[in-house]
Structure 1
Amino acid sequence: MDYRSAGVDIDKADGLIGAVKKAAKSTYTPGVLSGVGGFGACFAVPAGYKEPVLVSSTDGVGTKILLARELEDYSGMGFDLLAMNADDVICAGAKPLFFIDYIAVGKLDEKQYLDLIDSMARACRECGVAMIGGETAELPGMYPPGDFDLAGFTVGVVERSRMLDSKNVREGDSVIGLLSSGFHSNGFSLVRKVVETAKLDLRKDYGFGELGKKLLTPTKLYCHILAEMLDEFPGAVRGIAHITGGGIPGNLNRALPGNLDARIDTASWETPAEMKFIVEQGGIAKDESYKVFNMGIGMGLICDSSKEQEISGFLRKKGAENRVIGKTVPGNGKIVLV
């Protein structure tokens, strides 16, 4: 009896290390001191900070994985995973520095595994984030062959005096919504339930492209664009909210002080067609849809109203389509959808 007979193939995993190292090295930035291969990856805090504050986040991509597995398309999973972490870190005003992944599988599938690693590396290169380490766990008995789960971890840095804090938000500030690329990585348990109940065909075009492909559209990455924006407009942006699980009401409120509400005009942007379709097919109430899905807004920024047009134009030039979607008004820290 040996480890392989128990379901764990160490030799196969070791044979893939070379490909993993190559992918990781393609993402390395000057701060990387040691990366994949050691017991712990090392990264130098960038020079120039007087009081550097490290900001961390960890998250996964949820049951979107099950759709990826069904359609055998893992090309966007790395973007989903990095976004769920790096785009959280930027909400504190911190520039993401490095990323670490955790992949748990029932039985290591070489193609599936390398597709995931390649996707993560491509996402990291897009954002200038170093993929410096990770862990792959083969867990027979815990996951059936073909099943897997993903988790990511990101650390960023911000000057203490430039940390974003809800106490700096003022009455009359503008809310800018950055358009999402689709469902991103949230609400897929409900999406899958709708697909099952309404007997939808993932490979059918319902008027907006093949349904499965639209559902698997990778999460839009914002962190690198927002990091540039914060440098370009110091002090003008007072809050950032990543619109993930909980939707606009459950995330934008986290960037508000207790004495202000954000009044959001839901007619100021267009909800993606595939999102409208799922809401309609599932008979999902408006309030519920806004609590579960991003409804077309992937990030919310609260900024000085006198700078809203400059900031909006800057973001658009950098590839982040956006709309001015609301204002802050007296209240008690809630989101008012109108």
Structure 2
Amino acid sequence: LDRGKARNIIKGIVKGCKDAGCALIGGETAELPGMYKGEDYDLAGFCVGVVEKDKIIDGSSVRPGQIIVGIQSSGLHSNGFSLARKVFKKNELKGKIGRTLLTPTIIYVRAIQGLMKKLKIKSMAHITGGGFYDNIPRVLAPKTAASIYKGLWPVPGIFSVIQERARISDKEMYRTFNMGIGMAVVVDRRGARKAHTEIKKCGLKSWIIGEIIKGVKEVII
């Protein structure tokens, strides 16, 4: 066990717990020399939470005319790395590109909690694996769809580089990556300014990226 490396890992976990407002209540360190060699190691973790049944945000109150507020991501957010590894050479990963790819994922707990205290969130989607097309439909009410308008927020340059090198379509990019939006929140149109204000308090940027329209639980970009 490399104590220095283990210490840095624990520091990162502690920071994540503080950002999320949760407690680190247990863990185990197993040394498996027959499986992991050299500097290889594996991390696994999970969170458990509790919510009152009448406070569950399930998307049932989503209606046409409501707006979608997108909160900035910090980069790839741990998704799409299979493709990213294919388009960058090993020596590139040791420099600026490697550091960009490894930028820690933003934890949105405090931003969302702040929003919940100030306005009613109709629905929200964490833009993880599956991008916009797979994640947003899960939190829509029946007979509604999400219309997303490209160009309303700045897409980080790393995504353009990946798209150019991989030669894939815009649709595939939005199906694979978060494209600069890590969390999408649906609120009433009149709550837009208040949403931006609360999100800004957490040091994050946000934009109106689309609206709810009539449809069949799909995303239109």
Q: State if a TM-score over 0.5 links the two structures.
A: yes
Could you tell me how far apart the structure 2 residues matched to 1:269 and 1:320 are? 13
Give the corresponding residue for 2:106.
220
- For the Cα contact (< 8 Å) 1:173–1:303, is it kept in 2? yes
1:245: how far off?
0.3
1:200: how far off?
6.0
Q: After the TM superposition, which residues 313-324 of structure 1 pair with which residues of structure 2 at under 5 Å, given as runs?
A: 313-324=197-208
Higher strand content, 1 or 2 = 1
TM-score normalised by the chain length of structure 2: 0.94
- For the Cα contact (< 8 Å) 2:136–2:219, is it kept in 1? yes
Match of 2:79 among 186, 210, 220: 186
Deviations 1:124-167 (CA, angstroms, capped at 9, x unpaired): 12332111111222223223332222221112222221110121
Give the corresponding residue for 2:174.
290
Give the corresponding residue for 1:69.
none
Give the corresponding residue for 2:19.
126
Could you tell me how far apart the structure 2 residues matched to 1:288 and 1:112 are? 37
The structure number with the bigger radius of gyration is 1
Matched residue type, 1:295: M
Give the corresponding residue for 1:159.
52
SS of the counterpart of 1:149?
coil
Matched residue type, 1:294: N
Give the corresponding residue for 1:27.
none
- For the Cα contact (< 8 Å) 1:222–1:320, is it kept in 2? no
Matched residue type, 1:122: K
1:313: how far off?
1.9
Could you tell me how far apart the structure 1 residues matched to 2:17 and 2:62 are? 31
Of the two structures, which has the highest relative contact order with CA contacts closer than 8 Å and spacing of 6 or more? 2
Could you tell me how far apart the structure 1 residues matched to 2:159 and 2:146 are? 23
1:112: how far off?
2.0
Could you tell me how far apart the structure 2 residues matched to 1:118 and 1:262 are? 39
Could you tell me how far apart the structure 1 residues matched to 2:17 and 2:34 are? 32
Give the corresponding residue for 1:97.
none
- For the Cα contact (< 8 Å) 2:118–2:194, is it kept in 1? no
SS of the counterpart of 2:93?
coil
Match of 2:2 among 95, 109, 115: 109
Query: Identity of paired residues, percent?
Result: 40
- For the Cα contact (< 8 Å) 2:19–2:109, is it kept in 1? no
Matched residue type, 2:114: E
Give the corresponding residue for 2:128.
244
TM-score normalised by the chain length of structure 1: 0.63
Could you tell me how far apart the structure 1 residues matched to 2:35 and 2:94 are? 30
Matched residue type, 1:159: E
Could you tell me how far apart the structure 2 residues matched to 1:200 and 1:298 are? 28
Give the corresponding residue for 2:141.
257
- For the Cα contact (< 8 Å) 1:194–1:278, is it kept in 2? yes
- For the Cα contact (< 8 Å) 2:114–2:198, is it kept in 1? no
- For the Cα contact (< 8 Å) 1:256–1:333, is it kept in 2? yes
Across the two proteins, how many residue pairs are aligned to each other?
Answer: 221
